[in-house]
A and B are shown apart, each in its own frame.
Chain A
């Protein structure tokens, strides 16, 4: 080290010390407010000023300006995309723009204490909001639909056109032809797409949808097994040293915020020392440096693993027969409904090989299917038996498949067999649980239309709506549809193409202007879906409007975030409530739509109703809340099915029998009456069914399974155009070194991934973190193809490769059931 450096130090001390003196002790006295996990750093030591002498100051020494005082205006708001969580953002605003973003730093920062800390996505919202690609003015399509050619128009023309088309199409085709498309670009806050639905309901109604792209299969499984719901117990019920078995569940990849499940799980692992087993085709971010065991499984075969675990549990006498006989239907002959008796139709008969297929579901049988060694399956069953309690849960990965609903049910059976339900340390085989403050939404009003179709059926409802029935498409509320979809209202959604399946197929349906006659989109960016619109109107984001929100899915807190507009609205962007109010005026229902209320009036009403409902929670008033930014409270630990297990007679489930239905008589009925293809299975028992486009469908041409996963760089397709995140977390296809080497692919190569649906280009991540035979691709990147040319998707959107074919029971998206091939580009 040179003398030069030492001189530099003394000079720097002089400069910095002088500046800091001006900040005063009060600033540092505030440090305790922030409650940092270690005490907030003390004020750097100040040195008395030294007289400045020419001798002490050589000509060139490094100096640095002192820290500028932090005096920005801070505005609280929240992230609003569909990760399931909702994190707080404190925007530091200067000159009408966000300078930078902080998150929730109120209360203690210790692990386990609730802070709604935003993940990398929320932390990058400034550049997303400030993007030059934002939509600023209404647009009218001028080219062919889907071509992406638009011209700017005035708001009046946009609103007049939308109102006229809503009127014309309803009068021509009827109320069922009108839809508000599934969307989740704005998934938090108490407004979302509700103004659009309210407007449609007030003017005659709209086609209903059920099930989401996230969880339609597990919703169906939860309905037929437990009488409803996708959620089990909170992670916080996990007890010291116990076993936690997770199927396709990675909170670290999905719910990444500091108030979300990733935080709650980290806290539980650290404080209980629980042993974690994560069963997944990928080694997820939940089982990296944190410990735990990854059991790699061939995609789509979780049901076979469950059957073999059941075999071991039953065969070794570990099944909790008392639990099964008290709480469950169909475990054995004794607990089958009358209609099923005498047919070897029980779950036990299926597992032991006494059922119609005659195959015992042994670990050796399952090993050949799952590619998990027989011994590991045997040992896993024993570990699950020996851990009391045992927490068993699943994420949404296993269910987003052709065999999703039956797989989700198969996983749910395991805690039932072991009697590991309803007591501390257990769940029920569904996803980890969650608490909510229960804020209402702007009401959508009554929908005069009762016809309700599975969300994923919408392309069929465009092509031949009148042919969709209860028996061939899961139509509810009516025996059949009475019209095809002719108008689509798309609010903050990218599920027309990007997040839906088989983009090349769907392109042709949407581009045909004789099918859907009018598509209107309210958006902030020109998404791939927005390109198919006839009119696009520029939305304000949740951060640019008044917005209160609950905290989304989390275990250890109940919260409300009080969001204010971070700056004045810019350009000609407008909020959806005000837009729909203007449309309501044009359609003659203006007064009924607003009831004389502004957006703020509705939100105040919603908040006050919640506050009154929870009088004992001491929630702040609206005004107090807006001074706080965020209000939080720790809830009781949620233990699923506790009341039912304590008293099943007084607290029956909402299943037909009131019990847990391993055997579903209702599904047995569907099996008889539903119109299913040869390779589609709807059955009373949660058997192993490979489903279509599983590993067995692989061919010499398409020898690989292709699955998707949720990725840190975007939430579905939200934020996927924020380059700063994509640079930090590349969009990469995970390829096992064995598969890569066989094809001459090296880490970092651009590869082609292709099948019968299409072809994408993507960077290869050659990693041992994925099972051989499976290529795994983050879902949500923006489709980028010349649709008039080769249709090769350079954006790397997995839905260029996913098949459009509804699953047998939920009629839902099989987006992880794909086969294909990869090659160096």
Chain B
């Protein structure tokens, strides 16, 4: 059993969303479904001094995240149909369309919001690590798309050896919840999980 995963470099990401759109193109996703999302997390306040000048402690960073093909996938555990499996060869978490009834329990239970319900197909759909590309010796399309090379993909053990073991940052959940196969190089000004000094700055863009 090999477990594959993603690496995200928060010090390179500018929030451009090329990963999001490359994924949507390759998987021909409708407007209201993203398999990968870029969260803009930020906060800070403004102060005006006696002369009218402004100072601010505003901060912002971006986090790109897709399905983390977790070791303890909440979607798989909660699926009432038992329609979600984990591939032994790659660790991919996948849904069987023939068993899925499109109830959305997976979408609601995943703390990353990775599985979606396709209203047309009435099925759960999600990131498959670009299995076809990986089988052809390529990187997943999001990884190969990033203009700033802020994403990487490979065996999670290799990624952890190369990039470390950080796997959580606000606004993502604690890694202990589902044991994601994700490595994060923390952005400058990274806030801890549960941080309340900032909040999600682009909630309407998360699909």
Residues in chain A within 8 A of chain B (CB atoms): 1-2, 4-5, 8-13, 16-17, 20, 23, 27-31, 34, 36-47, 60-64, 66-70, 100-103, 105, 109-111, 117-121, 123-124, 126-127, 252, 256-258, 260, 262-263, 266, 270, 283, 285-286, 288-291, 294, 296, 364, 367-368, 371-374, 712, 723-725, 727-730, 736-738, 748, 763, 765, 767-769, 771-772
Contacts and interface: CB of A to CB of B under 8 A. Distances in A.
A20 B135 contact: yes
Contact of A62 (B58, B82, B152): B82
Contacts of B83: 62
27 contacts: A5-B86, A17-B89, A27-B135, A31-B138, A41-B153, A42-B155, A43-B135, A44-B89, A45-B1, A63-B96, A67-B131, A69-B132, A103-B145, A109-B139, A111-B148, A119-B16, A119-B147, A120-B16, A120-B22, A126-B25, A283-B58, A288-B60, A371-B54, A374-B51, A728-B24, A768-B42, A768-B46
Q: Is the interface of A mostly helix, strand, loop or mixed?
A: loop
A23 B60 CA distance: 45
Interface string B66-104: 000000100011000111111111100011101100000
A273 B55 CA distance: 25
Contact of A729 (B22, B128, B189, B205): B205
A432 B25 CA distance: 32
Given A288-B60, A289-B190, A10 B10 contact: no
Given A43-B137, A373-B51, A724-B21, 17 more contacts: A1-B77, A13-B89, A31-B138, A44-B2, A62-B95, A67-B131, A111-B149, A123-B18, A123-B25, A260-B147, A262-B14, A266-B14, A270-B11, A270-B12, A283-B60, A289-B188, A374-B51
B82 to A, nearest CB: 4
Interchain residue pairs A-B with the least CB separation, the first 5: A289-B187, A289-B61, A31-B137, A8-B85, A62-B96
Contacts of A767: 42, 201
B53 A374 contact: yes
Q: Most A CB atoms within 10 A — which of B96, B98, B155? A: B96
B149 A4 contact: no
B147 A768 contact: no
A725 B46 contact: no
Interface string B1-21: 110100000111111111011
A625 B61 CA distance: 40
Contact of B205 (A118, A373, A728): A728
A674 B108 CA distance: 68
Contacts of B111: none
Contact of A10 (B17, B88, B96, B189): B88
Interface in B119-166: 128, 131-139, 141, 143-149, 152-155, 158-159, 162
Interface in B40-69: 42-46, 48-49, 51-56, 58, 60-62
A252 B55 contact: no
Contacts of A39: 154
Given A372-B53, A724-B21, A40 B46 contact: no
B134 A44 contact: yes
B26 interface: yes
Given A38-B162, A62-B82, A289 B10 contact: yes
B145 A12 contact: no
Interface residues of B, number: 92
Given A38-B154, A724-B31, A768-B44, A288 B187 contact: yes
Contacts of A121: 21
A38 B139 CA distance: 9
Given A119-B16, A256-B16, A367-B53, A64 B96 contact: yes
Q: Most B CB atoms within 10 A — which of A374, A730, A769? A: A769
B80 to A, nearest CB: 11
Contacts of A724: 21, 24, 31
B26 to A, nearest CB: 5
Contacts of B42: 767-769
B205 A38 contact: no
Contact of B204 (A9, A124, A748): A748
A270 B148 CA distance: 11
Interface string B187-207: 111100000000001111101
B20 A100 contact: no
B86 A9 contact: yes
Contact of A13 (B44, B88, B128): B88
Contact of A257 (B28, B147, B149): B147
A2 B82 contact: yes
B181 interface: no
Contact of A771 (B54, B81, B82, B202): B54
A290 B137 contact: no
Contacts of B61: 288-289
A13 B17 contact: no
Contacts of B32: 727
B105 interface: no
A67 B60 CA distance: 38
A41 B139 contact: yes
A41 B154 contact: yes
Given A34-B137, A44-B134, A62-B99, A768 B43 contact: yes
Contacts of B149: 37, 109-111, 258
B96 A727 contact: no
Nearest to B96: A62
Nearest to B136: A70
Contacts of A285: 14-16
Q: Most A CB atoms within 10 A — which of B85, B99, B152, B153? A: B85
A368 B51 contact: yes
Nearest to B185: A289
Contact of A105 (B12, B15, B128, B144): B144
Contacts of B136: 23, 27, 30, 67, 69-70
Contacts of B16: 119-120, 252, 256, 262, 285, 712
Contacts of A40: 137-139
Given A27-B137, A257-B147, A68 B132 contact: yes
Nearest to B201: A767
Nearest to A722: B21
B77 to A, nearest CB: 6
Contacts of A102: 141, 144
Contacts of B51: 364, 367-368, 373-374
A5 B147 contact: no
A30 B137 contact: yes
A772 B157 CA distance: 47
Contact of B52 (A263, A266, A371): A371
